[in-house]
Structure 1
Amino acid sequence: MRLLMDGTVDRVVVLFGSNADPDPQLTWARGVTLFGDDGTGAELHHAGPVGVVGWSVAGLDALAFVAGHHGLVDRLVLVATPIPDDEGALGFELSEVTAKTLLLFAAKDPLTGSRHGTWWQKRLPDARLEMSPQGGHELLSPTWKRTLSHLAPHCKR
């Protein structure tokens, strides 16, 4: 894990799929500590609540992280995450992902439109789907405010 923003509240957010904070001003205002997954498989050592966001294909890594950290991760956001080629090859059951989940997809995304969002919503136990009528696959930055409001409710610096 790589530290992207040091926060002031007891809330950690782990970002999969980007090496940079999508909007440092918004992240700073929330007061959360933001880590980026650096692909090393390093463990997260945090006793408080953790939110996880996965963008695009890295959403599958985010799901694996959530499934492997029962009791630690309470909220998840998947942004434009494609359906896996083989659900059985994920290495975990989607029913193991019990975090409150927000699915953010764009209707005009040629890679992952509404069909992908609906697929995830049907398979994740506590998932809510929000479709953006505009935009394409590059949804992470435009939806960062909504992402943080889900992952870190009531948190402010």
Structure 2
Amino acid sequence: MLIEGTVGRAVVVFGIDEDPGPELTFARGVTLYAAGSDADPPDDAGPIGVAGQGDAGPAALAFAARHPERVDRLALIATPIPDDLELDLSTVTVKTLLLFGAKDLATGSTHGRWWQQRLPDARLEMNPQGGPDLLGPMWKRVLSHLAPSCRR
């Protein structure tokens, strides 16, 4: 756990070691967890929002697919098209935010559109100034999607 919240909502992020925006996370009142690919949902959390950054995006997807009764929101940030994905994406039906940077040569709009076409409830947002590291600069947007209406 990176920060303990007060609102009974957890946000699990794959691909981070520290809180990308401590002040914003604190203001939302969520409990923030950094997770590895074999993570289980926290026992003490209510609904869970899940995010995956970059190459950790498929781990976030797999987590959401394994725990549909707990995960109600998903965000993929600059996640490349996978070479091999052992998951039927049509089964991931949670509301999904796809964030990609227009200036990211490795995972720009082509990758974002690929995910959008395969995830049933996905919204693609392109950051015109964004490069590959979008999580920190876009943390407020990610939290507003993963923890809507949550405030400390």
Partners of 2:39 and 2:63 within 8 A in 1: no
Letter in 1 for 2:24: L
**Residues 123-134 of structure 1: pairs in structure 2 closer than 5 A:** 123-134=118-129
1:99 aligns with 2:97: no
Query: Moved runs in structure 1, 4+ residues, more than 3 A?
Result: 38-43
Once residues 48 and 40 of structure 2 are traced to their aligned partners in structure 1, the CA distance between those partners, rounded to angstroms, is 15
Number of residue pairs aligned between Structure 1 and Structure 2: 152
Once residues 76 and 18 of structure 1 are traced to their aligned partners in structure 2, the CA distance between those partners, rounded to angstroms, is 16
Which position in structure 2 is the counterpart of 1:65?
Answer: 63
TM-score (normalizing by structure 1): 0.93
Letter in 2 for 1:21: D
Q: 1:75 aligns with which of 73, 76, 82?
A: 73
Q: Which runs of 5+ in 2 are unaligned?
A: none
Q: 1:28 aligns with which of 26, 29, 32?
A: 26
1:113 aligns with 2:108: yes
1:111 shift after superposition: 1.0
TM-score (normalizing by structure 2): 0.96
Fraction of identical pairs, as percent: 62
Once residues 71 and 100 of structure 1 are traced to their aligned partners in structure 2, the CA distance between those partners, rounded to angstroms, is 13
1:96 shift after superposition: 1.2
- Over aligned residues, Cα RMSD in angstroms? 1.2
1:154 aligns with 2:152: no
Deviations 1:89-118 (A, max 9, x none): x22200111110000001110110000000
